[in-house]
Chains A and B, each alone.
Chain A
Amino acid sequence: MQRTLRIDPSDPRPIWRQIEEGVRHLVATGSLGAGAVAPSVRDLAKELQVNPATVSKAYQRLTDAGVLTVKRGEGTFVSDSPPVLTNGKRTELLQEGAVRFAGLARVLGASHEQALKAFDSAWESLQTVAIPDGSGDDESESGEDFE
């Protein structure tokens, strides 16, 4: 199972949103493939040491968004075809994120050029993670890096 979901107590986002976005990220990068078993609310809560209600809220939103599917009696799975965003929605979400990033860049006093450079290098670093090289069937991936 993937072990790359983390929560950061000094992250200003609420924990449920960190989980929600973390799962979206895992799905988007292929770490959690279509149809894969998602950790149960209980296990994930224990692993992250957070209230199960918090995980549950994130899962609820992910289910509503069609990213996760609950199969009764079996558990929670990544949807077989996680929703492809409509162009409008994608633009909206991108814009939201861009405003946050631009705001941060300005608060930090970064130039337009510096900000773009930072963005490009972040983009690059994510790309390398995103490519599930080979068959991608590494169920036994070490990743015990939770404390």
Chain B
Amino acid sequence: MSAPEMPVSPLLAVDDLTVRYGRRTALDHLSLAVPAGSVYALLGRNGAGKSSLVRCLLGEQRPNTGRALLLGRDSWRERASILAEVGVVPEEPDAPPSMNARQISRFCSRLYPSWNEAGVRDRLERFGVPSDVAFGKLSKGQKGQVALALALAFSPRLLILDDPTLGLDAYARKTFFEELIGELADRGTTVFLTTHDLAAVEGIADRVGILSDGKLLLDEGMESLKQRFRRISFPAAAGDTGDTAVPEREIAALAPVAVAARGWGVEAVVSNYDEERFTRTRPAAANRGVEISALTLEEIFIALVGERKGGTK
């Protein structure tokens, strides 16, 4: 972003990772890297392979090929020692159901030399989660918030969040991300998260991966991603000449990643937008009401992987 990307050694890396379940390939020779200090958001529809990847990262799943490295170490072989240094918020946070957050925190404090019990208490207070209610009695969202408070308690260099805001209401999501932002500001923690909450990560992530059928459709800095995608709208009727033809050849020449017919014309999404080139070569488009607009991350995602069925929003 600011400077040409420096070869900082990645805190999280996946190299040629393949996971198969019988005949089904969940991850297909996947490689990616998350440099220190960055926030990487992995997006993908359900079934794209996100969970398999997270399981490999956490050493819960042995890959068929390749390896997952956390802090430069193989997460399958050195699972225990690595997880002592990595903060994790799993999709289904788990803890002894009869213990309350305070008891869990006290218990963990004996396992981690740098455990900050007061920090856990403060965070839970900010989240509005009672620390004297048994974990098993908390809502799903509250369990996630407890998991984040615990994950941050030993100031890990690397944080792995698996769809952490799934099931949280708007306010809880906001406080969750505020906490995360505070952590980024204080410590520059490196974060890898999977999420369906595209609007929320849009401002936070500096790098985005989109997983589809076990492969990365895209792995790119947020800024360049947003620079190169544009929606170009072609109204069907060109003035009042009665000519309602859609300029199909013109659209095809743009090599769009998605084309959709709308009531008023056709909308194409291009992934190779270059402002100078477009303004220079398309003066003719001016009088025909052709419109060019930027896309949000969510719109880019949908253009690339298709409309989501039963999306979270």
Binding site for B on A (CB under 8 A): 7, 9-12, 14-15, 41-42, 45-46, 48-54, 57, 103, 106-109
Contact = CB atoms under 8 A, between A and B. Distances in A.
A44 to B, nearest CB: 10
Q: Which 6 A-B pairs have the closest CB atoms?
A: A50-B203, A12-B294, A52-B185, A42-B185, A9-B296, A109-B287
Interface in B220-275: 223, 226-227, 230
A130 to B, nearest CB: 27
A108 B299 CA distance: 22
A41 B185 CA distance: 8
B279 A52 contact: no
Contacts, number: 78
9 contacts: A42-B181, A42-B182, A45-B184, A49-B181, A51-B39, A53-B188, A106-B286, A107-B282, A107-B291
| Residue of B227, B283, B294, B297 most packed against chain A (CB within 10 A) | B294
Contact of B290 (A11, A49, A57, A107): A107
A54 to B, nearest CB: 7
Given A9-B296, A51-B181, A51-B205, 14 more contacts: A9-B203, A10-B293, A12-B230, A15-B203, A46-B182, A51-B39, A51-B203, A51-B204, A53-B188, A53-B206, A54-B206, A103-B279, A107-B291, A108-B286
Given A42-B182, A51-B205, A107-B285, A12 B2 contact: no
B301 interface: no
Contacts of A52: 181, 184-185
Contacts of B295: 10
